[in-house]
Amino acid sequence: MTSLLKIADVRRAFGDVAALDGVSLDIREGEFFALLGPSGCGKTTLLRILAGFETPDSGTVTLGGDDLTTVAAHRRPVNLMFQSYALFPHLSIEKNVAYGLEREKLPKAEIRERVAEVLDRVGLSGAAKRRPHQLSGGQRQRVALARAIVKRPKLLLLDEPLSALDRKVRAEMQLWLKQLQHEVGITFVVVTHDQEEAMSMADRIAVLNHGRVEQVGTPVALYGAPRTHFVADFIGGNNFFPGTAVEGGLECPGIGPLPGAGEVAAGESAVLAVRPEQIRIGGGGTPVLRGTVLDVSFYGGTSRIAVRVTGMATPLLVRQQGAAQVVPETEVDLVWETADGVLVPPPVTTGTGASDAA
């Protein structure tokens, strides 16, 4: 796949706060790309720079080789689907969708044809004459999407596309968005703070934090091989052990040597991240740790077991398929493979602990 959008060393500050602190990204043609990060990480600023509502202080943005930053928002071959959808309340659905084509001064017959075609694609042909306030949240979202893709942009930006929908509709739209992207072949860049949303839809994800790109990769790569503490913590649940990197793992003070692998040189301080589902309770192999079961919660498909380990400030979390075979207050052996422990450089503020965001 060829590169479509090139973002090189883009910086943007608001007063003393650097919203974007040297961001470089390469987004490929036809890709479903996600910008993922917590609120205030700069993802919305980057989106607004791509749409043309903000200008970077420095850095370049090119689309298909052409400089984008000097082009006014209304002349860019880029469209944005707003978080609020921003449907025009005084216009019918049909007129909302036709608005962008009318600005291109296309012949009336062509506009009619393209509007009908796109409304059919999003399944809203019957609602053409209605006003936005007469539609449900999911329908409004589809109108907003239709209004953006009818322009046939080179790049479609989506700002938190599913955040305004309730849980059930969200799962449905997630699948639908992915299929639609596949069908129309437009490059999608979606901004979200929801890691599950990004993981389930995107081909590749850029994780942003404090205006910097932490890591870019496929959902599987980000989950299985996080390169920074932030990525390991933000995507999925993880158990963290601080210490010093050694050959074949980590020396954790007060706990001992733990198996793991990663891109941290031996002798440097590091954090070992182990996914809850990679830890086995008993069942052969050399035990890595021993602990006492504190609590067992059953979630239907999976169980979560909290284990107290001497030397750790917070309980270790273990996830198992189905119902757990252990009961609280029993002593258990904990095992994981060397490849399943991921060594990452320590965060700015270190601490022993576990998190379970998923």
Partner 1 sequence: MIKRIPFWFSYVFLYVPILVVVVMSFNAGDSPYSWSGFGLGWYGELLGDEEVRTGLVNTLIVATGSTALATVLGTLLAVGLARHTRSKVLDAIATLPVILPDIVMAIGLLAFYTLIQLTLGLYSVLLAHAVFGTAAVAAVVRTRLASSDPSLEEASRDLGANGLTTFLRITLPTLAPGIVAGALLAFTLSVDEFVIAFFTAGPQSPTLPIVIYSMVRFGVTPEINALATVLLAVTFTAILAVQRLTKLTERR
d(CA 218, CA 208): 14
d(CA 238, CA 316): 9
Which window, 69-77, 121-129, 290-298, 350-358, contacts partner 1 (CB under 8 A)?
A: 69-77
Work out whether 75 is an interface residue with partner 1 (CB under 8 A). yes
Span 4-63, contacts to partner 1 by CB under 8 A: 51-53
What is the closest distance, in whole angstroms, from the C-beta atom of residue 5 to partner 1 in the complex? Answer: 17
Work out whether 275 is an interface residue with partner 1 (CB under 8 A). no
Work out whether 236 is an interface residue with partner 1 (CB under 8 A). no
Work out whether 298 is an interface residue with partner 1 (CB under 8 A). no
Which window, 60-68, 75-83, 203-211, 291-299, contacts partner 1 (CB under 8 A)?
A: 75-83
Work out whether 140 is an interface residue with partner 1 (CB under 8 A). no
Contacts of 290 (CB under 8 A, 6+ apart): 309, 331, 332, 333, 334
* CB nearer to partner 1: pick between 82 and 176: 82
d(CA 172, CA 339): 35
What is the closest distance, in whole angstroms, from the C-beta atom of residue 116 to partner 1 in the complex? Answer: 18
Give the residue among 238, 257, 249, 231 at the shortest CA–CA distance from 311.
Answer: 257
What is the closest distance, in whole angstroms, from the C-beta atom of residue 115 to partner 1 in the complex? Answer: 13
Helix pair angle (137-149, 108-121), 10° resolution: 140
Place of tokens 């720079």: 49
What is the closest distance, in whole angstroms, from the C-beta atom of residue 92 to partner 1 in the complex? Answer: 13
Read out DSSP for 139-177? HHHHHHHHHHHTT--SEEEEESTTTTS-HHHHHHHHHHH
Chain-centre distance for alpha carbon 182: 19
Give the chain's radius of gyration (CA, Å): 24
Judged by phi (left if over 0) then psi (alpha if -120 to 50, else beta), residue 52 lies in left
Six-digit token string for 115:
């509007």
The one among 3, 55, 84, 338 contacting partner 1 by CB under 8 A: 84
Contact 357, 195 (CB under 8 A): yes
What is the closest distance, in whole angstroms, from the C-beta atom of residue 100 to partner 1 in the complex? Answer: 4
Work out whether 107 is an interface residue with partner 1 (CB under 8 A). no
The one among 100, 161, 226, 276 contacting partner 1 by CB under 8 A: 100
Give the alpha-carbon dihedral of 250, 253, 257, 262, to 10 degrees. -10
Work out whether 80 is an interface residue with partner 1 (CB under 8 A). yes
Contacts of 135 (CB under 8 A, 6+ apart): 93, 127, 143
The one among 55, 88, 328, 357 contacting partner 1 by CB under 8 A: 88
Question: How many Cα neighbours within 13 Å face the side chain of 161?
Answer: 34
The one among 26, 82, 196, 225 contacting partner 1 by CB under 8 A: 82
Work out whether 74 is an interface residue with partner 1 (CB under 8 A). yes
* CB nearer to partner 1: pick between 100 and 260: 100
* CB nearer to partner 1: pick between 103 and 308: 103
* CB nearer to partner 1: pick between 67 and 102: 102
Q: Answer positive or negative: Cα dihedral of 183, 188, 191, 195.
A: positive
* CB nearer to partner 1: pick between 91 and 171: 91
Work out whether 103 is an interface residue with partner 1 (CB under 8 A). yes
Residues that bind partner 1 (CB under 8 A): 51-53, 73-75, 79-80, 82-84, 86-90, 99-100, 103-104, 133, 147, 151
